[in-house]
Every structure is written in C-alpha cells, then in structure tokens.
Amino acid sequence: METLSTNKAHDGVQGVYRHASLATGTEMTFSVYVPPHPAGAKLPVLWYLSGLTCTHANVTDKGEYRRACAERGVIFIAPDTSPRGEGVPNDDAYDFGQGAGFYVDATEAPWASHFRMRSYIEQELPELIAAEFPADMTRQGITGHSMGGHGALTIALRNPDRFRSVSAFAPIVAPSVVPWGEKALAGYLGADRTAWHPYDACALILDGARVGELLVDVGDADQFLHDQLRPELLRAACDAAGIPLTLRVQPGYDHSYYFISTFLTDHVAWHAERLTA
C-alpha cells in the first residue's frame, strides 16, 4: 500500500492511499479517515460507496463527515467506483464503464477482466483495511449515494452477518427496472435477468434476503427521483418483508453533495449508535 497524502483533521488523520488490486488487475485508490484514538484501540468502520462519475475524492472533499467521525470514534472509508487506467475498457457515456462499476463482478466481455468491484469491496479491500488500519472488522456499517447507495444496500443484504448497520442516500433501489440499472446490468452481466438479482436490493429482499433495519434519505427535488431511484419500490419490498425502513424525504434537496453533506453527519451518528452498542 502506498500513501499518497495525509492531513490532520479534527485531531485524526485523513489519508489517501493506492495499492495494486488483484481483483481488478489495476491500481486502486481509496481514502480513509482515522479519528483520534488511544494507542492499541480498534475502531468501528463505516464504508461509503460513491455514485456515478465519482472517485474517492468526492465525499472526501465535500462530505463534511470528519467532525462526526472524530466525535464518535468511527473510521470512514471511501473506495473508488471502478477500475481505471490504460488497458481498462471504457465507454463514452457517463453511466457505463470507468466511474460506473455498479459494484458488480462483470461476466461479459470486455468488462469481466477488470470490472470486479463486488470482489474488491466485499473481499480484497476489507482484508487490506484490517491489516493496515486500527479497524475492528466485527463492527462494520455501510452507506452510499445513488449508484453507491445501490451498492451499500445490495452488499449488506448479501452479507447480513458482516454489517451491523446500513443506510443510503438517494439509492438506486431496483436497478433491474430503471434505465441506469438496465443498461449497466445488461452490459456487465448479460441479458439473463436472473443474473441481475444479486445486484438489485428489491429483488434480493423479495428473494428472502434480510437486514435488521434501513435508513434512507432522498430529496424531493432530486431530478432522478421518479425515473431512476424509485424509493417507493424499496418501501413496498420492506413492508412485505417486515424490514423496518426509515425513509426520509427531505424537502427541497436535490441529488448533489449539498444534500449529502447536510445529512451525512446524521448517518454517521446513526451508524455509530449501532456500531458502538
């Protein structure tokens, strides 16, 4: 692991790091905020998965989470959204290819050789975090925005014993039935829609996956709310499955980091209550 930068913030350390990933076959960059803590202490971990076009830098620069993490003693990890670099396939559209990995393990050419973000987020990066940082991997939470909200929900639903808490900002809750998701899942996984189920939160719930509870924030001024996000489908799936869902529709907020930064401290506190109990 190579350290690209470190900065002191709220008496903790905000770092940006790079390593050679076996899962993606590329170098991957991620950021980690480690709050102040006693020597030898192990701290709970909150993962943040970013949305379309983003890297680790968007939330690191705009998220305004560090004070809350320092006060609550929570490590905050922000991976990239896809493999990148020379030789990595790409697409001219913003919603497919580099910057748009959708947290899947692709099976279709040419994407299958590098686009293995599920394996990277679920297996490889956690092993690196456990080895290099003072992380208590028995106390993990996960959140994310938009495509990253989709990632957070599906990863938690597939790994309910690993994550004590899961939340999301403006998540794509049913990618199998919205334009962003249909394009990405067909391109990465092929035309067989049954292969899409592990990457669709509503489908996972309907197939029997469960988590203890969910917190979701959306803005009622989000331009993608009705055609891409469809939070009402998550409400229906959770109601049918008996999963407690706190779905907060925030008046006047859009899809941007103005929205995320306003409520990210709430989410950090919500996760911390569940990770430190």
The reply to whether 222 belongs to the active site is yes
Closest CA to 141 of 2, 267, 1, 23: 267
Sequence-distant (≥ 6) Cβ neighbours of residue 77 within 8 angstroms: 30, 31, 32, 45, 46, 47, 48, 125, 129
Give the separation between CA 115 and CA 137, rounded to whole angstroms.
Answer: 25
Sequence-distant (≥ 6) Cβ neighbours of residue 165 within 8 angstroms: 141, 142, 213, 270, 271, 274, 275
Instruction: Point out which residues pair with 205 in neighbouring strands.
Output: none
**Which of 146, 165, 217, 271 is labelled catalytic?**
146
Give the separation between CA 23 and CA 193, rounded to whole angstroms.
Answer: 24
The reply to whether 255 belongs to the active site is yes
Token pair 């350390």 is found at 13
Cβ atoms of 162 and 153 closer than 8 Å: no
Cα within 13 Å of Cα(136), Cβ side: 15
Closest CA to 208 of 166, 232, 235, 241: 241
Query: Is the backbone peptide bond immediately before 110 cis, with ω within 30 degrees of 0?
Result: yes
**Which of 150, 255, 267, 271 is labelled catalytic?**
255
Give the separation between CA 7 and CA 12, rounded to whole angstroms.
Answer: 8
**Which of 95, 200, 217, 222 is labelled catalytic?**
222
Indicate the burial class of 130 (C-beta count within 10 angstroms; 0-12, 13-18, 19 or more).
middle
Active site residues: 146, 222, 255
